[in-house]
Amino acid sequence: MPATRLDEIDRKILAELQADGRMTNVELAKRVGISAPPCLRRVRTLEEQGYIRGYHADVDARELGFEVQVFASVGLQSQAESDLNAFEARCNEWPLVRECHMLNGEVDFILKCVAPDLSTFQRFLTEELTAADNVASVKTSLVIRGAKDEPGVPFDVLEDRLSHSA
């Protein structure tokens, strides 16, 4: 469902929960300017409609001992839909792969991987990823540091776009 079908209150609810998914319903209702019962109903509806997919803690991988973060660009031998689906299913089985995105262009997939150390990632790379069915090429880039990691969408851009189309 397009964002234009959401009213301003729904969009405010989503923006607030995106910024802090742990706030109470009472606090959320206060921030968006409605009472608690209808706020809770709206949140539940947004969850049921798939706008809210879940609630997660933003954990620090390095603090937990995952010192290595790598982006792997993967090229497949075949891009038939069944082969693409098979590769995506395989990615879902690999714990070190935290994100998997299909791309257009020269690279078929980009994977975000984490590992406790370089030797663990190297073992995954050589024994799992490059050895997987249909994988033709893998190019990796080791992350030195992250400069930005924002979840979700920029609601201020959405609101600006909607105000100019009205």
The contacts of residue 74 (CB under 8 Å, 6+ apart) are 87, 107, 108, 109, 110, 111, 129, 135, 137, 138
- Check residue 41 and give its pLDDT: 98
Closest to 125 in 3D by CA, of 84, 15, 115, 134: 115
Percent of the chain past pLDDT 90, that is, above it, reads 86
- Check residue 166 and give its pLDDT: 63
**What average pLDDT is seen over the chain?**
94
Q: What is the pLDDT of residues 79-93, one digit of tens each?
A: 999 999 999 999 999
And the tokens for 145? 């540091």
List domains and CATH numbers for the chain: 7-57 (1.10.10.10), 68-142 (3.30.70.920)
Flag whether pLDDT at 4 surpasses 60: no
Q: Are 125 and 73 in contact (CB under 8 A)?
A: no
Residue with tokens 């798939």: 50
Q: How confident is the model at residue 159 (pLDDT cuts 50, 70, 90)?
A: confident
